[in-house]
A = this chain, B = another copy of it.
Amino acid sequence: MTQRIVQLAVAQMGPVQRSDSRDSVVKRLIAMLHTAHARGARWVVFPELALTTFFPRWDLRDQAEIDSFYETSMPSAATEPLFTAAKQLGMGFYLGYGEIDGERRFNTSILVGPDGRIIGKYRKIHIPGDAVTQNSAPIQHLEKKYFAVGDLGFPVWQTDDAKIGMCICNDRRWPETWRVMGLQGIELGMVGYNTPSGYVQWDEPIHLRMHHHLLSLQAAAYQNACWIAAAGKSGVEEGAHMIGGSCIVAPTGEIMAKTLGEGDEVISFDCDMAIGDNYRANIFHFARHRRPEHYGLLVERTGAGDPLGKEPQ
């Protein structure tokens, strides 16, 4: 089996406070870009909403302040130096940010090629949390207030190095996300996230947040025979803690690299895309083993409905 190595890095970010300027954040991203390059990486994955604090934790009312958390163009003046540095180094990257498109607002990521071209754009589809404040908790999760449901599907892009797909944060918990990309032959998935360690809706034991994050990525990588690179924004932002655990997962479902801390931290791994071929050719040879004639409910129902089981005649 001929190796097909993609030199990959994940750039986890420590917290971004409300007062941090775009310029200061982009400087941090560029510093990690250089670290990744020094490790030999050709691609680097940055977090979801990487340019600002995770503002959906607040029920903001000042429209000007709300607008300040989104980008109206990409690259923007503030992010241009990141694009320029990456192109000079011949590196591609994934970057998450809040996008304003006319009247619509999306939780968006872009895939930028080593040549500096924007190869692809993804808009988050599985928007978690609520549209209105739920209770008196100081930390809310109001993504449904700030973002429309993505309208670009779950595409996979054929690049010179690999078939690359993107998703964002909560998307990673949904097997539908990964299977739709698996059915396009995804070899490398990139995902940015901001995952609060507390949960506003119920008292889930905090240790489960990391468990569910890693479990979802490992299962998705195994079941779709792809590598997954996940970059989180981590640590305490404005008094709210978010998990770290940025990682690179192999098609074996094993974690090959993981961050140690909750600050700005670069991890890297030389990922052999050919590892997935064995799974695609055998246990997960979809054409031989999948049975869509029995999967109809996946698209016929949105929410859970009645059990269909009948007693045998």
Q: A126-B291, A283-B128, A291-B149 are in contact. Are A118 and B311 (CB under 8 A)?
A: yes
Cβ proximity bits A67-84 to B, threshold 8 Å, 1 near / 0 not: 000000000000000000
Contact A309 B183 (CB under 8 A): no
A311: chain B residues within 8 A (beta carbon): 117-120
**8 Å CB interface, A256-304 against B:** 278, 280-292, 294-304
Number of residues from A at the complex interface, CB < 8 A: 83
Which of B186, B296, B305 contacts A299 (CB under 8 A)?
B296
A 188-222 contacts with B by CB, 8 A: 199, 201-202, 204-205, 208, 211-212, 215-216, 218-219, 222
CB < 8 Å: which of B150, B218, B223, B307 contacts A158?
A: B307
Whether A154 touches B287, Cβ cut-off 8 Å, given contacts A204-B278, A212-B253, A299-B299, is no
- The residue that A215 contacts in the complex, of B158, B202, B215, B280, with Cβ under 8 A, is B215
A174 at interface by CB-CB < 8 Å: yes
Q: Does A31 contact B (CB under 8 A)?
A: no
B118 with A304: CB separation less than 8 A: no
Identical chains in the assembly: 2
Asked if A65 lies at the interface with its beta carbon under 8 angstroms from chain B, I say no
Residue of B nearest to A157 (CB): B309
Q: Contact between A307 and B149 (Cβ–Cβ < 8 Å)?
A: no
Which residues of the other chain, B, contact A298 by a CB distance below 8 angstroms?
176, 179-180, 183, 292, 295, 298-299
A254 located at the interface, meaning its Cβ lies under 8 Å from any Cβ of chain B in the complex: yes
Is B302 in contact with A292, judged by CB distance below 8 angstroms? yes
Question: Which chain B residues border A184 with CB–CB below 8 Å?
Answer: 297, 304-309
A252 at interface (Cβ–Cβ under 8 A)?
yes
> Which residues of chain B have C-beta atoms less than 8 A from A278's C-beta?
201-202, 204
Binary contact track A220-236/B, C-beta < 8 Å → 1, others 0: 00110000000000000
B307 touching A156 by the CB < 8 A rule?
Answer: yes
Closest CB-CB distance, A171 to chain B, in whole Å? 10
Min distance, Cβ A20 to any Cβ of chain B, angstroms: 28
Q: Is there a chain B Cβ closer than 8 Å to A155's Cβ?
A: yes
Neighbouring B residues of A301 by C-beta, 8 Å: 183, 286, 292
Within 8 Å by CB of A212, from B120, B183, B222, lies B222
Does chain B have a CB within 8 A of A42?
Answer: no
Please provide the chain A residues from 132 to 149 with a CB less than 8 Å away from any CB of chain B in the complex.
149
Q: List 9 A-B contacts (CB under 8 A).
A: A126-B290, A179-B298, A183-B303, A184-B297, A184-B305, A204-B278, A215-B218, A287-B304, A299-B299
Instruction: Name the 5 nearest CB pairs between A and B, nearest first.
Output: A287-B303, A219-B219, A157-B309, A175-B175, A155-B309
Interface residues of A (CB under 8 A from B): 110, 117-121, 125-128, 149-150, 153-158, 163, 165, 170, 173-176, 178-180, 182-186, 199, 201-202, 204-205, 208, 211-212, 215-216, 218-219, 222-223, 252-254, 278, 280-292, 294-312
